[in-house]
Structure 1
């Protein structure tokens, strides 16, 4: 399947409404595979490293509690909690033929599939996304322990969501910043009694300063991985690439060695309380990066 016709965001980035809110993730993976969408692969290594560090700090406390923003079909939860790779997910969801199961049947099959691959140290994952069908699939497939179809840019969190957020250890996001802003983070942090760690992959076309300023007010220090950037996906077309280059130029950034290769590039930001930053420097927390 080729990528669908898309419309643009305010900064020119394409989005794919036709694949983000389906009964199951087959169109999503089929649409993004030709664009070599790969940011969840990078997120897998980072989020596992952060989860391991948090678990060491917690000792024998109950399972880690993770909130994945813009969770879509539970891809980050699948990669965090199960013995598989992003390529495994592409293989599973892009090879279907005429006899492939319908959405509900696939979710039931997937629930058994993921249960057999679940890691013993799996985190409890709450997913938040405006796409109600995608969230519903992720819950039905057992990828999300709790899922909320919510647009926190527009609406305050429900009492049920607020209760689910309290006690969060780690917030993750792989590319949603820009679609969501500091407003979403502010509403999340209104629901927690102690600030969690935050790990965000943010496209270089988007400034993270408003979010990091909000997190600073909540008591978190934000650090950026400076040793590399992370490919997100290929540009959907020339118009999207030109818009990205214009956005980067407006931010005073050059594309050589990065977006000039035909891919969006993201930066990784990690926010933690100052005491945690002092006790475990970022270079030791994420040594491979």
Structure 2
């Protein structure tokens, strides 16, 4: 997820030291004890939405996915490979992985992902302000294109604009709050074909500004208020209390969810309005 310009309040623990490393080993080591799991829940959703997007606007060509706040390409790994999030934790926290140089790990990971590539793999464009992270994902073959740009701070480059014009589905699991409606507005402004958006957003944030930005581009957003997806454990009582307060401010009930010790997210799915 991007850490270029943060709109997240001070009560949420930051992990800046793990988001722009040359490879994802520190990321998985740090988040494993916190049981970070939202990409696991997104895996089936994104695969299903990709299939529905292809069927709804089918041209016979693969649908290009843009993963917003893509980090080390984890969503792309789960979308396009015969892998689970548990597999990735095991792969990157294993003792053997810690012995390798970055260059050796990249060589190993190219083989690792190539051997597990799905026959129906979709083209994936990665966007994140974390330059080293997207560079790794591109180097090991998880991303077809990678852009280290911060759309909260400036407009998209011409190269990114051209990439978004080929996009049919935008996905995001960990970025809402770090990116705002400004980024979504910039991306949809580059669209040249019908774009769907599938976003998991923590319940500590209001999604309404993003919903409004997408509506301005003709997208209708739906979400099931009764469904919540666990994201990770809190780092301690300070983060827990802050999250509970923010969840209430965002209009959600934290009882049994945030109050039980974990962040939770909602899924928001945006589609072009019926004509």
Task: State the TM bucket, normalised to the shorter chain.
Answer: over 0.9
- Answer 1 or 2: higher relative contact order, Cα 8 Å, separation at least 6: 2
CA offset at residue 33 of structure 1?
Answer: 0.5
Equivalence map 1:1-289=2 (5 Å): 9-10=8-9, 12-59=11-58, 61-97=60-96, 100-275=99-274
CA offset at residue 221 of structure 1?
Answer: 0.5
Distance 1:202 1:26, change over 3 A: same
CA offset at residue 195 of structure 1?
Answer: 3.9
Deviates more, 1:47-56 or 1:126-135: 47-56
CA offset at residue 36 of structure 1?
Answer: 0.3
Deviates more, 1:90-99 or 1:115-124: 90-99
CA offset at residue 98 of structure 1?
Answer: 8.1
Q: Give ranges in structure 1 of 5+ residues lacking alignment.
A: 1-6, 277-289
Contact 1:130 1:151 in 2 (8 A): yes
Contact 1:8 1:14 in 2 (8 A): no
Distance 1:251 1:164, change over 3 A: closer
Which whole-Å CA distance do the structure 1 matches of 2:98 and 2:188 have between them?
45
Contact 1:70 1:129 in 2 (8 A): yes
SS in 2 for 1:14: coil
Q: How many residues align?
A: 270
Which whole-Å CA distance do the structure 1 matches of 2:189 and 2:196 have between them?
15
Which whole-Å CA distance do the structure 1 matches of 2:206 and 2:103 have between them?
39
Q: TM-score, normalised by structure 2?
A: 0.94
Which whole-Å CA distance do the structure 2 matches of 1:213 and 1:187 have between them?
13
CA offset at residue 189 of structure 1?
Answer: 1.3
Distance 1:193 1:98, change over 3 A: closer
CA offset at residue 51 of structure 1?
Answer: 0.8
Contact 2:97 2:105 in 1 (8 A): no
Spell out, residue by residue over 1:70-98, the C-alpha distance to the aligned partner (whole angstroms, 9 max, x if none).
00000000000000100000000001348
CA offset at residue 63 of structure 1?
Answer: 1.5
Structure 1 outlier segments of 4+, above 4 Å: none
Deviates more, 1:221-230 or 1:29-38: 221-230
